[in-house]
Amino acid sequence: MNKKTPSCDSANCVNTQIGYFCGTCDKNLCGDCYLTHFPEHNEIRIVNHSYVRMGINLLLKEMNELRNERDALKNERDALKNERDAPKDEKDALKNERNEPSFKETLEDPKSVLEKHPFHLSLCCRTLEEAREFYTGLLGCAEKRATKTSVHIDFFGNQLTLHALGEDYSATSIHREVDAEDVPVPHFGGVFSIANFHKIAEKLKAVDYPCVLEPHVRFLDKPHEQWIVFILDPAGNAIEIKAFTKIPEGTWV
């Protein structure tokens, strides 16, 4: 018969949370003492389900915490193994990965973005010789590499690839109004300091290179006020050279 007692009947136990009753020895048992009776005493039954459920929940919580610790240790072990087994040039990247700024962080530093993530543009030209004469000879860009049909130009820190299609090729542009003047689109270009902008403009003027739009200032008195000049390369690709007048160098609005 189940005893109505507020404490565990096991010797030297003062636990008042009774969860089980042992029919073999006729004792109320707490969770700890239940473990010493089972399975030798097989007439044990639950008498306090809420207490037992609480114990199970605590046990499950501890199991989840142990599982999370195990997974964290496994991930750390795998990372160390990958770093150990990687080729030397990849090891440095793995070591520095934790310190690499996030993409959002690099976006807050425009100069960092330009240094780490140069822009790439691929266009067509008529001949490689003509393209080299314009981009390396006139604009002063460096040639990085070339194949029989293409050349890769360092266009002021960005990668410009030009593919030769032959003498008959001509890029086509349409014109759209920007600040009350027609500009060719599509076009690409570079953003420079005011001093470097004028150096390029003077170089174009010195060789009498034709301009779609002559050097001038547009968007007067606005935050994005800028010097601009539009030219076409020999294949007809439109290029805009610009310099903002009211913001720090290396930024744009």
Q: What is the pLDDT of residues 128-175, one digit of tens each?
A: 999 999 999 999 999 999 999 999 999 998 999 999 999 999 998 888
Euclidean distance between CA atoms 163 and 153, whole angstroms:
11
Q: Provide the token pair at 190.
A: 């570079």
Nearest to 203 by CA among 231, 182, 181, 183: 231
Residue 71 CB coordination number (10 Å): 10
The whole-angstrom separation of Cα 38 and Cα 34 is: 6
pLDDT tens sequence across 216-243 = 999 999 999 999 999 999 999 999 999 9
**pTM higher than 0.85:** no
CATH code for the structural domain at 119-253: 3.10.180.10
What is the residue type of 153?
A: I
Q: Which residue has the tokens 């991930």?
A: 75
DSSP classification of residue 97: G
Quote the crossing angle between the two packed helices 88-96 and 49-85, to the nearest 10°. 140
Q: How far apart are CA 141 and CA 161, in angstroms?
A: 12
Q: What is the pLDDT of residue 14?
A: 63
What's the pLDDT tens digit per position in 22-32?
A: 766 767 767 66
Domains of the chain, by residue range, sit at 119-253
How is 103-163 classified by DSSP, letter by letter? HHHHHT-HHHHHHHS--EEEEEES-HHHHHIIIIIIS-PEEEEE-SSEEEEEETTEEEEEE
Please answer whether residues 233 and 125 qualify as being in contact, where contact means their C-beta atoms are separated by less than 8 angstroms. yes
Name 75's bridge partners.
none
Q: 26-72 pLDDT, tens per residue?
A: 677 676 666 666 555 555 555 555 555 555 666 667 777 888 888 88
